[in-house]
Amino acid sequence: MASYIEKSINVGIVIPTYNRSATLKDAVNSALRQTHKELEIIVMDDCSTDNTAAYLKTITDNRVSFVVNDVNLGLAANINKGVSLLSKEVEWCTILCDDDYLHEECIESLVRTVLFEKAASVVHGHIIFHDFNGNLLNEGRPSPPQESALKFIVSRALFIKDRYLSGVMFSTKHFNSIGGYPRFESGLAADDALIFALALKDKLYYTAESVTYIRIHEGAESRQCDDIRKHISAIREYNRYCFLHARISGKMNLEKLKVLKIYLKMFVKASNIHLWNTSFRIHMSNDHSYAKSRLRQLYGLGVNPRFDFPTRIRLISWLGLLTGICLEKYITFDELVNKLRVISKKFIKLILMPVIIILLYVILSLIQYR
């Protein structure tokens, strides 16, 4: 606590936004209410078509500046531009998504952790999930006080914990040294990739005293299905990005790189399965021709050897492409496998018993003959 009083840190809060003026107000207000006062807040409006620009003009606090992009840059480029616009005095930065908000002591707790732990690269705090009415949905699992980049990847591959970009504070120097926020084909897994690359510079530190509220969107699964190919491609990019940064960091020996490769592959396959299953479930329940064409695209993705899928998805996809039959409308793959096992056991019994009887007869005949 004393170290926080003796020395403080200039912190930047970059708020990328696009067409979310209603929730943006909560994000900005939560940034302004921080007990840590050495703040520089930049709102990056990525060509919003709602009343975001009008709202930003009403902000009078001189700690807040805003930029309206001439063209839509996309999330990654918008974040990177925002961080680059922070003054040189800003040593640490956090990205606050426009639909999330911070507890008033969030930044102070993160700064205290940086100073107490002598953290060099990245720290994060506790996350609480709310819906848009402010109702509590869930809380993120606590993390270890400190963990290596490899342990972070393992915990994410095993889906032991959630991690979002809001509530993560990082050194601007190290952020720039790794090339900023990753530009994958979609934003999926980019947060994890950024945290991993930053943790390679030092460790990942955690404090439960810093709290960030994450809003969960209704219909998020449906929107995710619209860009499934992009999301699966982004997962592949995540795999390559993490392995490349681990290798060039010099922080992992050959044995650790092998472990990393195993868990990255595990994460990629599990993510692919989740994305495919979610899309399949949503499109299968819809009888519109649009959904049927999406199902064919999904089948094409399921048979594509570039993407890692289990046998179940491969078989469903081949059957769907060749016959147009959606088998799981009538019976799930697991139910089918169980039925085939029962049938095969009965079949084996029917075939095996006569064979055994014949063999016994032959053996007895040979004994008698002797």
Using CA atoms, how far apart are residues 133 and 116, in angstroms rounded to an integer? 36
Which tens digits make up the pLDDT trace of 203-223? 999 999 999 999 987 655 445
Using CA atoms, how far apart are residues 261 and 88, in angstroms rounded to an integer? 37
Sign of CA dihedral 10, 11, 16, 21: negative
Average pLDDT, stretch 324-342?
62
Under 8 Å between Cβ of 24 and 43? yes
Banded pLDDT at 340 (limits 50, 70, 90): low
Banded pLDDT at 227 (limits 50, 70, 90): confident
What pLDDT sits at residue 102?
Answer: 97
Which tens digits make up the pLDDT trace of 118-140? 999 999 999 999 988 888 899 99
Using CA atoms, how far apart are residues 237 and 182, in angstroms rounded to an integer? 9
Q: Is 1 a residue whose pLDDT tops 50? A: no
